Every structure is written in C-alpha cells, then in structure tokens.
Amino acid sequence: MSDGSFDERDAAMSELLGIRSSIDNIDAALIHLLAERFKFTQQVGRLKATHGLPPSDPDRERRQIARLRNLAIDAHLDPAFAEKWFNFVVAEVIQHHEELANGAAAPGAADEL
C-alpha cells in the first residue's frame, strides 16, 4: 500500500526543482543583462572622462528613479526595491566613472575590447 503523503511530497519536490530551475535561468539572464548594461556604462564613463564631464548626473538619476519606480509598480514589484537596486548599480557605475576620470581602467574594461 502506497503512502499518499510520500507521493505528495515527491510531487512537491519535483515541482520545487522545476521552479528553482526557472529561477536559475532568470538569474543567468539577469547576469548577462547586467554585463551588457555595464558595457554601455563603461562607454559613457570613457566619453565623460575624455570630455571632462562629471562622473555622476544627479538629475538623470532622479529621472531614472522615478521612471523605474513607475515600471516597478506596473510590474507588481516593490518600487522601493527597484530604487534600492538602481542606487546600488549607480554607485558601482559612478565608481567606475571616477576610476576612468582618474586614468585607471575600470574593472572588466580590458574584457570589453
């Protein structure tokens, strides 16, 4: 005689593995998208460094935060989380831009050529 709870647990574990596989695929896509994003921000940083422009643009950052918060709301994502994510990414971008402005190659820059 089969134990019904064992079958249910087995089915739940199988479903869990499938869901986790989807999460892993999304994580991989996010990493690739972030890599692409940083390739473009490195181009921006080099352009700014070449022309003596400041590493950060607070007005653009404010506009982007407002835009991303609205996108998050539309996507049913916590807008505060979207803003935190953006601020984290922008801090890294600004650091790279400052390094470029000071004549240092930003991390990963050699890989982009």
Q: What pTM was computed for the model?
A: 0.77
Residue 4 confidence (pLDDT): 64
Residue 103 confidence (pLDDT): 85
Whether the pLDDT of residue 77 is over 60: the answer is: yes
Residue 3 confidence (pLDDT): 58
Domain extent listing, the chain: 3-105
Residue 105 confidence (pLDDT): 59
3 state SS for the chain: CCCHHHHHHHHHHHHHHHHHHHHHHHHHHHHHHHHHHHHHHHHHHHHHHHCCCCCCCHHHHHHHHHHHHHHHHHCCCCHHHHHHHHHHHHHHHHHHHHHHHCCCCCCCHHHHC
Is the domain spanning 3-105 CATH 3.30.465.10? The answer is: no
Q: What is the pLDDT of residues 4-61, one digit of tens each?
A: 688 999 999 999 999 999 999 999 999 999 999 999 999 999 999 999 999 999 999 9
Please report which confidence band the pLDDT of residue 91 belongs to, taking 50, 70 and 90 as the band edges: very high
Whether the pLDDT of residue 111 is over 60: the answer is: no
Whether the pLDDT of residue 107 is over 90: the answer is: no
Residue 113 or residue 90, greater confidence: 90
